[in-house]
Amino acid sequence: MKIVTAEEMRAIDRATTEKYGIPSLTLMENAGAAVAEFAQKHFDFSSVCAVCGKGNNGGDGFVAARKLHELGEKVSVIVLAKSAEELRGDAAEMFKKLPVSALWVADEKDFSKSEVEEALNSDLILDAILGTGFKPPLKGIAEKAIIRLNKVTGWVLSVDLPSGVDADATEKPFDYSSSVHADAIISFTAPKSVLVFADLTDGPVAIANIGSPVKLVAQHASSRQDVVTSADVQALALQRRPDAHKGDFGHVLVIGGSVGKSGAPAMAGLAALRTGAGLVTVASPKSVRNAVAASAPELMTEQLEETADGTVSILALARREQLLKGKTVVALGPGLSQNEETAEFIRDFVSICTTSLVIDADGINAFAGHGEEIQPDADDHSFRVLTPHPGEMSRLIGSSIPAIQANRIGAARRAAELTRACVVLKGHRTVIASPHGHVWINLTGNPGMAKGGSGDVLTGIVAAVLAQRPLHGVSVGWRPGDDPEGKKIKELVKRSDPEMADVTAEKIAVKVREARDLMAALGVARAVYLHGLAGDIAASLYGQQSMIATDIINCLGEAFAVCEEESHSKFAYLQR
């Protein structure tokens, strides 16, 4: 789901009406209906008060109030104006349909009126004062209303955005009292930056499609940044045919482990199985192979030559062909240690591996300061994924952790360009950067996952998702678009110049490769979302303090079920 700016959102609304003929009043009607439905889904209330501004945000509030009144709720409406003559555009039209009399508040002293105070004591307050079009600073009666709303005892549901926040901001307002403290947020069409990057509420945040075509959003969004949603996950879900067999769902090879760290590859392997991989083999030093095998009977195991420290030896490379035979994806790194001989094994293995790779933990550390060595050869059509936390990223690209955290998207893109791999920069708001510059932001997950083993679980999930949709043998088509490069290729094809045939073929091959990489990166984003969602479910069951990494594995089934259920909902959740 594309992230848009306030200006892009206005352009999308205009184009929806002008190009597709959907009246703006219809969009407002749909928005208000979504607010009413969201309110009933998430709050238990017997009385509701809509506090509405003069513009379109207020119009959404008028519609929501009408819809809730039709559903039998006790409804009151406060309008921040002297009279209906001050209302503008569609909001004025929707006000005419209100089934209840409005309470007018044009001055701070009006909040002291008994009927206004009674309305503000409702169980639920709809904050419909200011929306996406607002730019700081606050002024006038809106500022006074926000201060008053932050003192109510009922729940507060913000419509579009909490009033007082800038849609294009990436942090909470510096003065927290200058915006509404929402218990939930329901927005429309596409997420705005502030909903993605600023922690505005602990409650649910969702986007409702109110009628704008999805392709229109894609045309106007310029940032090449998306939010991963359950709908994205479900869109890539693999349907299992009745006659399916284990060979249809890929064979993951996990290379990891060392003495004292047998759990890491075992958890990666188990996570891969829970995510749907048909077969999983864990290859580990012979001293820990039995421990891995004992962790789960479903895992197959291979023993590798080891060093005196019980880590993988460079001698294990002699069996690389046997290890890779029949494997779809390799997960390399969990528990391998930073032994220098093992690091040499990792570098040599990556240099000759033409199977898709997920490189994590000590697999990444082996390339500290030499990320360019991770790049696949020009004729290697496999896909590579790195899953660093900020410390591993710091070592990989030679940047400080504070600098990385200050610009997580920039750091992920830089690493993806350096390594020509898909980079998953773990942490709060995990960033997934494709080799070609596209970025996804993941909003699932919680601090309870900040425990040993969570990253190993993610590695297994990513590997399994890629294994079930392998790149090898898959035909990917591409049609020239209206982008500059697409227009150039169209012109070359149209000219049918024999001397330019090779150039044209090469340009098309590059575009096909980009399309294949994009599909694989989407799969990685899906895996990251599932990992975080399973962690959220685990936190709800055991608490953030008590949950452990294997709880995430055990909650994957419910995470899949949530994605399937939400795919039928009109709400796309950024936060639950």
Is residue 178 pLDDT above 60, yes or no? yes
**Higher pLDDT pick, 488 / 447:** 447
Average pLDDT of every residue of the chain: 93
Range name among 257-261, 421-425, 430-434, 507-511 with the lowest pLDDT average: 507-511
Q: What is the pLDDT of residue 474?
A: 45
| Amino acid occupying residue 521 | A
**Higher pLDDT pick, 334 / 236:** 334
Q: What is the spatial distance between Cα 143 and Cα 136, in angstroms, rounded to a whole number?
A: 11
Q: What is the pLDDT of residue 174?
A: 72
Range name among 169-178, 372-381, 537-546 with the lowest pLDDT average: 169-178
Is residue 223 pLDDT above 90, yes or no? no
Domain boundaries, the chain: 6-223, 245-473+514-575
Q: What is the pLDDT of residue 272?
A: 98
> pLDDT (tens digit, 9 = 90+) per residue, 514-573?
888 899 999 999 999 999 999 999 999 999 999 999 999 999 999 999 999 998 899 999
Q: How confident is the model at residue 217 (pLDDT cuts 50, 70, 90)?
A: very high
Is residue 381 pLDDT above 80, yes or no? yes
Q: What is the pLDDT of residue 501?
A: 65
Alpha carbon dihedral 375, 381, 387, 388, in 10-degree steps, equals 10
Residue 448 CA, distance from chain mean position: 18
Residue 158, H or E segment: strand 155-159
Architecture of domain 6-223: 3-Layer(aba) Sandwich (3.40)
Mean pLDDT of 201-222: 95
- Residue 435 DSSP label: T
Residue 184, H or E segment: strand 184-188
Q: What is the pLDDT of residue 445?
A: 98
H helix runs in 420-555, sequence order:
454-468, 484-495, 501-542, 549-554
Is residue 500 pLDDT above 90, yes or no? no
Mean pLDDT of 299-320: 97
pTM score > 0.85 for this model?
yes
> pLDDT (tens digit, 9 = 90+) per residue, 243-286?
999 999 999 999 999 999 999 999 999 999 999 999 999 999 99
Is residue 21 pLDDT above 90, yes or no? yes
Range name among 53-62, 76-85, 172-181, 405-414 with the lowest pLDDT average: 172-181
CATH topology (fold) of 245-473+514-575: UDP-N-acetylmuramoyl-L-alanine:D-glutamate ligase (3.40.1190)
> pLDDT (tens digit, 9 = 90+) per residue, 147-171?
999 999 999 999 999 999 999 999 8
Q: How many CB atoms lie within 10 A of CB 5?
A: 18
Exposure string of 478-495, with b = 16+ CB inside 10 Å and e = fewer, is: bebeeeeeeeebeebeee
CB 535 within 8 A of CB 446: yes
Is residue 350 pLDDT above 50, yes or no? yes
Is residue 413 pLDDT above 60, yes or no? yes
Name residue 103's beta-bridge partners. Answer: 78
- Provide the terminal-to-terminal Cα distance of the chain, rounded to the nearest Å: 16
Mean pLDDT of 135-139: 90
Work out the burial of residue 445: count CB atoms within 10 Å of its CB; fewer than 13 is exposed, 13-18 middle, 19 or more buried: buried
Closest CA to 454 of 229, 293, 271: 271
Q: What is the pLDDT of residue 472?
A: 45
Q: Which residues contact 370 (CB under 8 A, 6 or more apart)?
A: none
Both structure tokens of 421: 């791999």
Q: How confident is the model at residue 458 (pLDDT cuts 50, 70, 90)?
A: very high
Torsions phi, psi for 306 (to 5 deg): -130, 160
Name residue 573's beta-bridge partners. Answer: 206
- Above pLDDT 90, what percent of the chain? 85
CB 168 within 8 A of CB 139: no
Q: What is the pLDDT of residue 469?
A: 83
Which pairing describes strands 155-159 and 47-52: parallel, antiparallel, or unpaired?
unpaired
